[in-house]
Every structure is written in C-alpha cells, then in structure tokens.
Structure 1
Amino acid sequence: MLLLLGLARPAAATPEDILVASPAHPAQFVEDRYYSVFEDPSGRLPISQVSSPAYASRFATLAGTPLPPNIQHPRSIYWLRFTVRADEGPASDWYLELYDSHIGAATLFRPLGNAIPNQAQAYDSVLTGANYPFATRPLPYKNFLFDLPLRHGRPVTYYLRLHSDSPTSFRAMLHSGPGLLPEMSLQYWLLGGFYGILFIMLVYNLFLYFFLQEKSYLYYVFYVLSGALLFLSEDGLGFQYLWPGSAAVNHLIAVAAPVLLLLTFAQYARSFLDSAARLPHLDRTIHWVVSLSGALLVLDAAVIHSGFSFWLYLLPYGLLYYAAWQAYRGGLRAARYLLLAQALVAGSLGFLISRKLGIEFYNNAYTVYSLNVAFVVEVAVLSYALADKIKSLMDTTLLTQRRLLKQLRKRHQAQDQLVEQLRENQALKDQLNTELEALVAQRTDELRQQNETIAAQNRELLETNSLLALQSAAIEQLNHDLSRDLQDQKEARLQAREFDFGEFSQLYPDKDACLRYLADLKWQHGYRCRKCNHEKSCEAREPFARRCTRCRYVESATTGTLLQKCKFPIVKALYAVFLLHAHRGRYAPAELARVLELRPATSWAFAQKVLAALERRRQAPDYEEGESWTHVLFDDTANADMETLLETA
C-alpha cells in the first residue's frame, strides 16, 4: 500500500554535494546530501528563472535536518537540483531512476552544450509521470528512468521538476549503463516469479473452492487478486503491461487496491475464523470498523487528499489480529497460521513505513522487496492454513462418524436383544390372550345377566322419575302463584296506603331498587331526549341512566322527578312522597322527620315541595280521584324553586 508523508520547506539554504559517477560504483543511492530542494507554491516558475543565480540561494539540502525527503503540498511544484561529475575512466551511459511510481509529473532538465558567459544556460527537458500514458516515458521501464549525459571530469547540474496530486516521496538511484540491464532483468525475473506464485495459488484455491464449495477459498481468491492488483500498481508493472494507455485507470487502481485488500482480507479472516459463531460481538465490531475505515479511505482519496490515510488501516487490521488470537485461544488451532502470516506482513510493512517516513533504516534490496516476499509467504501460509482447517474439520467428521458407528453397533445389539425379548413377550402374550378370552367370555355372560337386571330397574326408575317430574312441576307452579300473590298483595297494600317504612324498605331495599323503579316508570312508553327529542339511547356510566345517541346528553332516572337533587337517601324520599300522597298532604312534617330520622328543616322543606306537587296535580286536567301516588313523582315544576330552600335547610 502507498504511505504518504510531507516535506516542509527547508529553513536555511545550503549547497548540495557533488555526486560522482564512477564505474567502481555502478549503482549509487542518491542520498539527501546530494540534492537540494526548492518549493514553488505558484507552480509557474520556468527553468530559466529557477536556474538563475537569483534563485540559487533558495535551494537547500535536507542533510542534517529531521525533515524526510517527501513532498508535503500536492498543489506546489518541487524543484530538485543535483550535480553529477563523471569520474575519469571508460566512457559509459548513466541513468537516473525514480523509485516512486506515483509521482504525477516528473520533468528532467538537462543542460545543452557549454554555457556561454553572461548568457543563461539552455536546457532540454524530458517529461513523464503517472498522469501521462506509459508511452511518454523515455525508456520503457516500470520506474521513471532518465538518461543523464555526463562530461568526464566536469560536473553537470540537473534540475528535476516534480508535481504530484498526492503526497509522494523522492527516492532515486544512479545507474551505469552496463550495470542497469542485468539489474533490470533480475528484477523482472524475480517479479515474474512473484506473480507466477500468486497465479498458481489463485488457480489452486479456485479449484478447491469448486470442489469443496467452501466460501473461505473464494474469499481467499479475492484477497490474492486484490494483493496482486496492489503490487501491480506499486511496482509499475500493471501500468507497463496491463493498462499503459490510461493514466486515470492507473491512478484509480492505486487508490482502490489498498481498500479492496482491506475488505477482502477482512471477509476472508472472518470466514476463516468463524468469528460470527465464535466471537459474535467482536465480529459485529469488526464489520462496522472495516466498513467505516473503507468509507473514510475512499473519502480521503477522492476529496481530502490528506496523505495520512495509512493510519486508517491500523485499527481494522489490529482488530482482525486480535480476533485471530481470541479464536486461537478458543480452540481454533488453524488460527496460529493466520497470526504468523500477519506478523510477517506487519514486519515488512515496518520497513516500508520507515522509507515513507524518510527514516534510513536498512534500506536495501532485501527490505525494499520484503513486502513482496512476505505476501508470498503469507499466501502460502494462509493456503496451508485453509487446508489444515479443512483437514481438521474432516478429522473431526471422521471421528464423529466413528463414534456414530460405535453407537450404531451398540444400538443394533440392543435391537437384537429387544427383538428376542419381544418374541418372548409375544409368546407370553398369546398365552395370556387365550386365558383372557375364556375369562372374558365368562365375564360377558355375567355382565349380560346384570345388564338385563339393570334395564328392568331403569324402567322402574323412569316411571318413578316421570311421576316426580309431574309433582315438581305442580310444586313449582304453586310457588310461582304464591310469589305472584304475595307481590300483588304488597302492591295492593302499597296502593291502599297501608305500608309502614319497614315494609316499604323491604319492597325497595336500596338506592338501586329505587332507581330501577323510577327508570321503569319514566321510560315505560319509550325514551325521548329532553334536549333534542331523539328517541334512541344507550346505557350511561351512572346506574339506570340513559345517554342520547345523537347529542350525547346523559339523563339520570331522577331527572324530571321530585327526587332530583335530593339531599338525603332516595329510599326515604320515595317513602316521604308515598306518605304525603297517602294522607292527602295532611301529615305533619315533624312526624315525617321522626319516621324518616331526618332533620326537621330538611323534612319540612321536602314536604313543602311534595305538597306543592300534590296541589298542582289536583289542578291538572287529567287528575282522577284515587289515582296512584306515582303521578306525583314526575312533577318537576318545583325543582328549580325548591332547590335553594333545600340547600338552606
């Protein structure tokens, strides 16, 4: 993966050392003391102005400073100046190789001929970079390779103009012509072997997936493909051989390959470790962390361009490593291979991070390609881990099958014993059935005789029950007639005005009985709403009250009667109306208060209300002498007038 860091502008201008091109050293690493750097934030300075004496003091080396040899600001143009002197010896060609294949535009300015005094030095230029098709490169090589025309014994100053859309590093190597070709051939052979191993592992595991239908192999194939895509982007072989005409595709793959590698490895590791079943809580955490990290990586590559997105890989890879450790502790022995493989990759990434940070730490051919070696070893180890896991599952399956076979043998033996026992039981059963049949036949005869006796007795009982039923009906009819006569007698006595309060209380023992009596009298001819004259109603919450289905008006059983808003028990009030009607109003209020146990003022006020109603009833056109006392109950004319009088009493 590509790690991005920045370079701050040097604080003081210092001249660079002269790089000596000697046949004794056919390959030299261009250290930071051999070049000086100048940042052009505007990006518009031409070579004639940058190479002028006025700008010579603005170049400064990074030797002795803690600053890494990296590009910090993607919008700036960085000029690198370096001087090369060819040592005396056989004439040969020399080349400058830039290792970072993600530099967007790299232009080498080479001086033309001898400089004329008092005139500006003329330069020719060679332009290439990751933002241009591969055909623009001066030499068809995976890295940026420039021809350096040298003059023996005389130093030559070159200028390198760098511009990149993302932070990249400046790493260069000076090669002699005779030593470059063998090194290039060796690199291509080694990289070819590397991709060949990846291809073999990919095809091998793809066939295993088709045969075994194990999804872990398919995820492993996607992981190897993502890794191959990442390495093709990093070492430049993909741009050289697969998509040489599209710089946009090269840039897209460079951005997308690390994200795809993270996603595919996470899916493979989760499937390999069975984390959903073994570590469900950690598996959900890994899923969300990997998804969020992938989204942030895409956002940084498309919009932010921070150059520090490699830190986003630490948390998801760390969680996956922790999950492998937990799975190993939980009994999945194959997880140790995943731990080993990731440890090798982590170690090789340490060398890559040190180079990207500008730290000179074992920077040689072994550490540069250590990530390739580690990835090959990881691919082989993970493939072996999958095979070991499948073998472990198969061994477990075989062991389970053997245990099942043993259980089946024991079950067959038990079944044979059971069959023998069943045969013995069948013989005993046949013997018992024979004996039981004889006993059943004997018992059947006895039961038939008993049934005949019981049937005769049942006939006698039916005749007796018929007589008892007739007697019960007669008794029930007599009880009904007696109850009706008793009720009629009570009603007659009530109409004859012969009831005392005790007997009246037996006829109407409580408030509910009084309310039921009033409701039956009030709505015996049907319901009609007092507000809207609607004739349909339903039950209300108050006992024996009615609610209008149209206007929702609730009318109680006492509404519109002398008992409306009565301040004492309704049973006493009902009996007071009965007494005053029975004595035609000539009943002393004091005696009424004594009988009903009321205060004299309350008794007198209620008696006045009833007497007024009796008087109005006598004056009514439909008044009949000796009519029932219930006609007085529904005279509510005095309710409003007597309300204040009752409250005062």
Structure 2
Amino acid sequence: MNVHNSGLWILRLLLLICSNLPSQLGAIELRLADQTTLQQSLALTPYFEVFEDASATLNLEQVLSPAIASRFISSSSSAEALSFGYTRSAFWLRLQLRNDSAHTIQRILELSEPGLTKVEFHQIATDTDSATPTQNYSIRTGRETDFSARPYPNRFFVFPLSLAPNSVQSFYLRVQSLGPVSIPVKLWQPAAFHAHERSDYANQAWYFGGATAMALFNLLLFLALRDVMYLLYVNFVSCMALTMAIQNGLDKEYFWQAAPLWSNIATNVGYSLTLACLLIFMRRMLSTAAIVPGLDRLLQALLVIFFLTPIAFVISLQSVIKPAALLYGFTAVLILVTSLVCALKRQRSAYFFLSAFSVLCFAAITTVLRALGLVSTNQLTTNILQLGSIFEMLVLAFALADRFNAIRRAHELAQNLALDAQRQLVETLTSSERILEERVIQRTLELDKKNEKLARAMRSLEDVERIARHDLKTPLASIIAAPKVLRAGRILEDQEEKVLNMIEHAARRALSMVNLSLDLFQPAPCQRKFKCPGSRRGARPVGARAVKIGQYPYFRASLADLGRG
C-alpha cells in the first residue's frame, strides 16, 4: 500500500512539473468556457499533441515520464482527422481541457473510427481548485475488445467527460490498428451529441433498409423469372451491405460483440467477398468472356485471389493488409476499364453498369487512398463508399428494370415472329389446299369425261356381243328345231331319219362350239377406275364413276389408248 501511494504521489508530482512547463512541452490548452455556448461540436485535431510509439510497447506511466512527455508535438492540422495510413506504430494523443467556470461541465468525446484495433482513454487531473477533484481513470477498448468494455454503447468510441470547476485536465488517447490509422475526434455537448446520434442511426437505418428492400425485391424477381442474374445481384448487395455494417461498427454492436479474431479480419474479408460477388455479377451482366476475353481472364484470376485472401487474413493480417488494399484499388480501376471497353463496343448493359459503378469505384479508390494516408479524412471521404453504394443500388435498379423490359420486349418480339410465321404457314397451306382442290376438281372433270367415253365404248362392246350371240345362236337353234318339225305327222324312212339325225347332231355340235367359243373369249369381268393421281388414298373423286368392262383382247389396245388420253 505504501509503495502504491508513493508511486501515485510521484506520478502526480511529474504531472505537476509537466503542467508548469508549457514552453518545454508545447502544451495546448482548450478553454471550454470560451466555446461552450458557441459550438455544439468541435474538432479536436488542432488541439492534439501527438507522439508516435514505433515499438508500440510504452504504457501510460512511461508516456508520462519527462523523457517521453517532452517528445509530444503539436498536430498543427486543421483537418477533421489525423491520418497515418498503414503502420504498426501506436500513437499517443494528448489533450488538455481547462474549465474556468464555477460549475462542472459535461462533455462527450467521440472517436468516430470504428475500425481501430486498440483504443485506450486516460483522464488525469493535473490542476484543480475544486473541493472535489476529478479522479483519474482509464478505459481500454477497441475493435478486438468486447463491446461491453465501452463506457458508452455506440458504434463509435464514445467517452463521457466531466470537468470539475476551475480545473485543468489532461486526456491521453492511445490508438493502434492493424488497418489504416485514422483518428477523427470531436468534442460534443451532450444534447447535441444525442441529437447527432439519433440522426446518425436513422441514416444507417435508411441505408440498410434500402439495401434489404433491394435484395428482397431482386430475390422475388429471381424466383419469378428464374434468371440467375438477379440472384447474383442479391449476393452482391448482401455482401456490400454486410461489409458496410462491419466498416461502420454496427456488426460489433449487434452481431459479434466478443469475437477478437473475426473482428480484426471482418472488414477485409467483407471487401474481398464483395468484390468477388461484384466480379461474378459483372462478368455475366456484360458477357465479358465473349466481348473482352483478355480482360475476362484477368477477372477470373482476381476471383481466385479474392476467394483465397480470407485465408491469408487469418494467417497474417498485418502482412497482407496493405497489399490487399492496393489490390482493391487495382480491381476498382479494372472494373472501370472493363465497363468502358464494353460500353465502347455498344454492349447495352455496359452503359448502366458504367454509370452505376463509376461512382462506386471512385468511392472505393478514395477509400483506399484515405487508408494509405494520401487523402485527408473528413465527413465526405469517411462515408463516400457508403454514398457510392447507395448510388450504385439506385442505378442498378434501373439497369435490372431495363433488363426485365428488354427480356419482355424480346419475348414479345419472338411471339410476334412466331405468330407471323404461323399466319404465313396457314396462308400457305390454305393457298396450297385451294390450288390442290382446284386441280382435283379439274382432274375429276377430265376423268368424268374419260369415264363417259369408256362407258359408251363398253355399251358398244356389249351391243356387239349381244348381236354376235343372237346372229350365231338363232340360226343354229332353228336348224336344231327343223328335224322336229319335219318329223311331225310323218313317218320317215330310215334314210331320211338318218339325214335328220345328222343335221340335228351337226347343228347341236355347231351350237356347242359357238357357246364354247363365246365363253372362251369372255373372261371374268373386272372393275376399272380412272383416279386422280394427287388424291388421297381411299378418297373418291368427285363425280367419278366406276365402270365394268370386259377385257377382250381386241379391245385392250384401244382401251389402253383411251386411258392414256
């Protein structure tokens, strides 16, 4: 206990010495009474004194020693934030606040960079005339620390301050990060900060609400149209929104409050997956494999790299984070170049894609430059990526709507072409059927005439046959009947009877020969039809008649000639 008290007294003595040597330490005091009623918030960058701990091993007691305290230098910056880029150093910031009033002043100190890995806040009373001096206290927080360790629940690092009347207090901030080191610090009046906080969370709600609505809408379009383009866009929007939530510190507040390793690599993993989803979406939307095959091969290589970078982040984040940032910037430029080339080749989707992602890629490049310390940190550069993504979502909504309309127009055009083709086919078939029907009717009339001629010929043939039978058989029948007449009423002599028998027998034989000859030259009758060659099987020609003819040898040639005619 005595050792602890003696150490505390020594520390207080050192602080008293430092406070009495402003010319040596370059201390800058901020008098709150001078600006209490004038400003609701104040950027503290010009009032900070900065010390870079290259070894990142010094603690508060060592920093308060005269050897280190004299090495603090004024930031001499009018920007809203101190930017140091990617570095392994730890940075100590010293701020002195003076309360000359007779009452306690409440303030809120806001460090609005949620990606800082380690943040330490120390408040030390260096001089006080108050009866109740301010107690010294320290807070250790940061992205890799549990969210419950924060003194105020907010996506940023927020520290409530209480300054005793007539006192001077020193505040120390120690900042260290695996990513880019940017330190935007403001001092707020409590009421103004709470109003700002509500507005900030409302803006975040608008952004993520819009992103969610866009993702759900395109998911429904995918389920309705079965077009994988909409699903790829949903993947990109989801990854982009999650990455923005990680970058803005909302993931630490709402999702994983105690996950040190994941908290450190989450932002870079989110960027890698977002760019991978973006490249997949772009390759399909712009058909880069067909339009720009050379650039498409480079895009495929980047896809493989982005899917492997999360493993590298787990192994050694600090070694690969700066090359990864450069890779992100290169990818953004490549996206712009690819979109521009496709647009110059009159790829319709490229116009929308170039418009949508030019702003987003510019925002991404600005973010990378800010991370490298090449661009100053301010309200615009801090939120430019989120603003660019909002613009991208709106423009791509029009792009996908145009794609839907293009698909619908193509479908309608295909339907119209199909209907036209069907109409032309029906007209052709109708015309062919009409021509065929006319030909059938014409051929049928010709066949009717031929069949009529054939019928007349057959009737003539039948008449000839009938006459032939009559002229041949009637005399023979008379000869056969003559002996009977001669015998009637008479008694004939043997010689007469013999002659009559011979006459009768000869007549009968002649009649038999005639009958045999007529039957021999009268084959079985058959049917013969003249049909239209183009008519269908089994169809009966209109007006056609079947005619029975006897195929007599001496009529065959004439009938064949008639059929050919």
Q: TM-score, normalised by structure 1?
A: 0.59
The SS at the match of 2:322 is: coil
- Counterpart mapping for 1:134-213 below 5 A: 134-152=147-165, 154-213=167-226
The SS at the match of 1:260 is: helix
Give the alignment partner of residue 395 of structure 1, picking from 409, 429, 438.
409
1:423 counterpart = 2:429? no
Is the 2:41–2:188 contact (alpha carbons within 8 Å) kept by the matching residues of 1? Answer: yes
Correspondence for 2:502: none
Question: Displacement of 1:58 after TM fit?
Answer: 1.8
Q: 1:60 to 1:334 in 2, by over 3 A?
A: same
Correspondence for 2:13: none
- Counterpart mapping for 1:283-432 below 5 A: 283-295=296-308, 299=312, 302-303=315-316, 304-349=319-364, 351-353=366-368, 355-358=370-373, 363-364=378-379, 366-426=380-440
The SS at the match of 1:84 is: strand
| 1:239-268 deviation line (CA, Å, top 9, x unaligned) | 111222333333342231001110111111
- Counterpart mapping for 1:226-305 below 5 A: 226-295=239-308, 299=312, 302-303=315-316, 304-305=319-320
Distance 2:368 2:346 in 1: 34
| 1:367-423 deviation line (CA, Å, top 9, x unaligned) | 543332321221122122111112112112212322332232222212111112223
| 1:503-532 deviation line (CA, Å, top 9, x unaligned) | xxxxxxxxxxxxxxxxxxxxxxxxxxxxxx
Distance 2:410 2:394 in 1: 24
Structure 2 stretches lacking a partner, 5+ long: 1-23, 448-528, 534-548, 558-565
Question: Displacement of 1:122 after TM fit?
Answer: 8.5
Distance 1:61 1:40 in 2: 15
Q: 1:271 to 1:360 in 2, by over 3 A?
A: closer
Q: Which residue identity does 2:194 align to in structure 1? A: L
| 1:75-120 deviation line (CA, Å, top 9, x unaligned) | x43322222234648743112211221222211111147489xxxx
Is the 1:109–1:158 contact (alpha carbons within 8 Å) kept by the matching residues of 2? Answer: yes
Correspondence for 2:137: 124
Q: 1:159 to 1:305 in 2, by over 3 A?
A: farther
Q: Which residue identity does 1:82 align to in structure 2? A: L
Is the 1:18–1:85 contact (alpha carbons within 8 Å) kept by the matching residues of 2? Answer: yes
Is the 1:293–1:313 contact (alpha carbons within 8 Å) kept by the matching residues of 2? Answer: no
Q: Which residue identity does 2:390 align to in structure 1? A: V
Question: Displacement of 1:293 after TM fit?
Answer: 4.8
Q: 1:383 to 1:260 in 2, by over 3 A?
A: same
- Counterpart mapping for 1:80-99 below 5 A: 80-86=93-99, 88=101, 91-99=104-112
Q: Which residue identity does 1:50 align to in structure 2? A: V
- Counterpart mapping for 1:48-59 below 5 A: 48-59=61-72
Is the 1:68–1:359 contact (alpha carbons within 8 Å) kept by the matching residues of 2? Answer: no
Give the alignment partner of residue 83 of structure 2, picking from 69, 94, 111.
69
1:225 counterpart = 2:238? yes
Higher helix share: 2
The SS at the match of 2:163 is: coil
Q: Which residue identity does 2:298 align to in structure 1? A: T
Is the 2:325–2:368 contact (alpha carbons within 8 Å) kept by the matching residues of 1? Answer: no
Give the alignment partner of residue 110 of structure 1, picking from 123, 132, 143.
123
1:39 counterpart = 2:78? no
Is the 1:68–1:357 contact (alpha carbons within 8 Å) kept by the matching residues of 2? Answer: no
Question: Displacement of 1:126 after TM fit?
Answer: 0.9
Q: Which residue identity does 1:19 align to in structure 2? A: L
| 1:467-499 deviation line (CA, Å, top 9, x unaligned) | xxxxxxxxxxxxxxxxxxxxxxxxxxxxxxxxx
Distance 2:121 2:154 in 1: 16
Question: Displacement of 1:294 after TM fit?
Answer: 4.7
Q: Which residue identity does 2:178 align to in structure 1? A: D
Give the RMSD, CA atoms, in angstroms: 3.6
Q: Which residue identity does 2:42 align to in structure 1? A: Q
Percent of pairs with identical residues: 23
Q: 1:326 to 1:71 in 2, by over 3 A?
A: closer
Q: TM-score, normalised by structure 2?
A: 0.67
Give the alignment partner of residue 42 of structure 2, picking from 17, 28, 36.
28
Q: Which residue identity does 2:396 align to in structure 1? A: L
Distance 1:421 1:113 in 2: 114
| 1:604-644 deviation line (CA, Å, top 9, x unaligned) | xxxxxxxxxxxxxxxxxxxxxxxxxxxxxxxxxxxxxxxxx
Is the 1:263–1:290 contact (alpha carbons within 8 Å) kept by the matching residues of 2? Answer: yes
Q: Which residue identity does 1:339 align to in structure 2? A: L
Distance 2:166 2:372 in 1: 36
Question: Displacement of 1:313 after TM fit?
Answer: 1.7
Question: Displacement of 1:25 after TM fit?
Answer: 1.7
Q: 1:253 to 1:266 in 2, by over 3 A?
A: same
Q: 1:418 to 1:279 in 2, by over 3 A?
A: farther
Q: Which residue identity does 2:232 align to in structure 1? A: Y
The SS at the match of 1:132 is: coil
Q: Which residue identity does 1:328 align to in structure 2? A: A
The SS at the match of 2:181 is: coil
Is the 1:290–1:316 contact (alpha carbons within 8 Å) kept by the matching residues of 2? Answer: no
Distance 2:105 2:150 in 1: 21
Q: 1:305 to 1:89 in 2, by over 3 A?
A: farther
Is the 1:71–1:78 contact (alpha carbons within 8 Å) kept by the matching residues of 2? Answer: no
Correspondence for 1:214: 227
1:434 counterpart = 2:530? yes
Is the 2:125–2:169 contact (alpha carbons within 8 Å) kept by the matching residues of 1? Answer: no
Q: Which residue identity does 1:363 align to in structure 2? A: N
Higher strand share: 2
The SS at the match of 1:131 is: coil
Q: 1:314 to 1:128 in 2, by over 3 A?
A: closer
Q: 1:245 to 1:359 in 2, by over 3 A?
A: same
Q: Which residue identity does 1:182 align to in structure 2? A: A
Q: Which residue identity does 1:137 align to in structure 2? A: R
The higher relative CO (CA closer than 8 Å, separation ≥ 6) is in 2
The SS at the match of 1:168 is: strand
Distance 1:441 1:357 in 2: 116
Distance 2:325 2:362 in 1: 16
Q: Which residue identity does 2:26 align to in structure 1? A: P
Is the 2:102–2:166 contact (alpha carbons within 8 Å) kept by the matching residues of 1? Answer: no
Question: Displacement of 1:340 after TM fit?
Answer: 1.2
Q: Which residue identity does 1:410 align to in structure 2? A: Q
Q: Which deviates more, 352-361 or 171-180?
A: 352-361
Distance 2:260 2:312 in 1: 21
Distance 2:303 2:333 in 1: 11
Is the 2:360–2:392 contact (alpha carbons within 8 Å) kept by the matching residues of 1? Answer: yes
Distance 1:146 1:308 in 2: 34
| 1:329-361 deviation line (CA, Å, top 9, x unaligned) | 344333322111112223434553454344675
| 1:560-596 deviation line (CA, Å, top 9, x unaligned) | xxxxxxxxxxxxxxxxxxxxxxxxxxxxxxxxxxxxx
Is the 1:127–1:136 contact (alpha carbons within 8 Å) kept by the matching residues of 2? Answer: yes
The SS at the match of 2:83 is: coil
Q: Which residue identity does 2:404 align to in structure 1? A: I
Q: 1:287 to 1:390 in 2, by over 3 A?
A: same
Q: 1:34 to 1:441 in 2, by over 3 A?
A: farther
Distance 1:98 1:399 in 2: 59
1:18 counterpart = 2:29? yes
